[in-house]
Structure 1
């Protein structure tokens, strides 16, 4: 019994040992070149990409980036072996008793194509080229539109004029009571100046005054002047004017849509993207030089055809970049002034205006609620904080535009 028992165990152990001895050499055989973990990751990635060695090699030989797509090309570029790994793969003999793993077999087949991974890099550039060009064109178009919107906005200039007039009226008799301009960043601080009720801010007051004046201007076709009407009728007109004017002021945010989009951009990053795209052309020219010796006519024809189109597209986007950045520089000088040009780096002007528009939208909502309450009770005068009530703050506000859109006049500067 003992003999039989131990014979069985001995047999089992030998069997297990035999299996273990067989597995270990197989693992080593399949990981002769790459790190085992890296080899396994590449094999998993290849299965996920669902692509064959033949499909990849054919696309690389012809230079057709569309066949593989951006995602696969990026994955192939990450698989690129080190010089040592490349040497070992090239030296590996097919008649070797050892077996290459899935990842090693795939990479070895790719390396049989001249300059395979330089081709992958060039084809990835081609695959991304069109989307990069379209992104840059849209971005510079948005910057141009934002500059035009802000500079030509009548209501934005009216707001600047109203803020300047209010500030001067509040500071009358002081050395700050006759200012000709103010820093654009000050717009963000208007809500910090509050009236005696601790709720109404200076921006609330400015908006209330503007909507009244704007409403009256838009309703100027009324044949009966307010002075000839009853008090009840006058109050009704007043509320109606404010309602109409509020629609105009609250619409500023919609009118400056591209300004808000431009605030999310970075002019320096866009310029760097243009430079990278232009410099990337060397990937195509370099691979063309390297592949002259291979006599691969189809590959060279494909690359040369792309090169002609790409060079023209890059010239166009560089020209658009110059126009957009020139307009941005002009807009910065228009609102900030030459003396404070350093304060308005890049698209900061759009960031300030975007943040101000967010504040203005909330103030317009507050003012709208106040006006709704006024409509319910027309017998009560519309009240504003006494320390902010400035009679005739905007004399001649309707009759003239203090600031034109010409480049030599600035509604606000440092």
Structure 2
């Protein structure tokens, strides 16, 4: 009998080989899944929440948009609003002047460029926004449960292998060390996950939204689209002004 055949026969004697292989597979994937992928996603969501809430430039822009809305609605029941729905930000490009292509967004960008040019680069405060907008909390919840369930199955197999005898001694030693190393890390990650979920809900509330109706993904995607529209209109304003200056120069000559 060859060594390979003997090895196969020895493997066949190991109780619950499938469960043991799954336990080792979880051990191999653990660091990549938890440290590299899951923690990175949590950090991105948390960073985006902090950036959005701490950006004084974004806050000032929101204030001025509210002021503009109240000015336009003066004399109506909506003329003294204390806030607005986030999706209203995306409607600023829907309202156009009857005499030009200028939208309310173009007007806002012109006003900021003229009176508060330092606000135009508010997007630089939001470096994590685009990456965070691609992350779904529902998927993170599923990943968290999968990691917890995987670790629980590893513990179950370790307990079950206690009666396997000498054939599982190496397996038990390796798995026992692994569990001892990762349990504290799992507690840390689980706590951080809870904090991130609370911060994500608090972000919706910060913008006057109900987190059950306007979850984190919707908040970040709406603001990201607003940023893109704002920058596009600002760029169009700049090109239009450059074109007008060019025409003036030609007329003068």
Q: Write out per-residue CA displacement over residues 328-350 of structure 1, whole angstroms, 9 at most, x where no aligned residue.
A: 2222111125xx44322243211
**Matched residues in 1 for 2:25 and 2:99: separation?**
63
- Alignment of 1:357 with 2:216, yes or no, is no
Residue by residue over 1:268-323, the C-alpha shift from the partner in whole angstroms, topping out at 9 and shown as x without a partner, is 22122112211211222222233222223222111100011121111111111111
Contact 1:195 1:201 in 2 (8 A): yes
In the alignment, the residues of structure 2 paired with residue 314 and residue 147 of structure 1 have an alpha-carbon distance, to the nearest angstrom, of 23
Alignment of 1:214-229 (within 5 A): 214-215=116-117
Q: Distance in 2 between matches of 1:334 and 1:209?
A: 26
Question: 1:311-322 counterparts in 2 under 5 A?
Answer: 311-322=183-194
In structure 2, the partner of 1:291 is: 161
Q: Which residue of 2 aligns with 1:143?
A: 45
Assess if the C-alpha contact under 8 Å between 2:92 and 2:103 holds in 1: yes
Written as runs of structure 1 = structure 2, the 5 A alignment for 1:331-346 is 331-337=203-209, 340-346=210-216
Query: 4+ residue runs of structure 1 moved beyond 6 angstroms?
Result: none
What secondary structure sits across from 2:76 in the alignment?
coil
Map of 1:259 onto structure 2:
129
The residue that corresponds to 2:19 in the other structure is: 118
Q: Which residue matches 1:19?
A: none
What is the rounded CA distance, in whole Å, between the counterparts of 1:199 and 1:110 in structure 2?
75
Matches within 5 A, 1:137-216: 137-215=39-117
* Matched residues, number: 243
What is the alpha-carbon distance in structure 2 between the residues aligned to residue 168 and residue 175 of structure 1? 10
Q: Is it true that 1:327 corresponds to 2:229 in the alignment?
A: no
RMSD: 2.3
1:336 aligned counterpart, secondary structure: coil
CA contact (8 A) 1:146 1:256 kept: yes
Query: Where does residue 368 of structure 1 map in the other structure?
Result: 238
CA–CA distance in structure 2, aligned partners of residues 136 and 204 of structure 1: 40
Higher-Rg structure is 1
Q: Which of 150, 173, 180 pairs up with 1:280? A: 150
Q: 1:164 to 1:378 in 2, by over 3 A?
A: farther
Q: Secondary structure, in 3 states, of the residue corresponding to 2:207?
A: helix
Given that 2:83 and 2:208 are in contact with CA atoms closer than 8 Å, whether structure 1 keeps it comes out as: no
TM-score, normalised with respect to structure 2: 0.87
Tell me if structure 1 keeps the 8 A contact 2:23–2:153: yes
TM-score normalised by structure 1 residue count: 0.55
Instruction: Give the corresponding residue for 2:177.
Output: 305
Taking structure 1 as reference, are residues 274 and 378 closer, same or farther at Cα in structure 2, changes over 3 Å only? same
Instruction: Tell me what 2:30 maps to.
Output: 129
SS at match of 1:257: coil
Shift of 1:175: 2.2
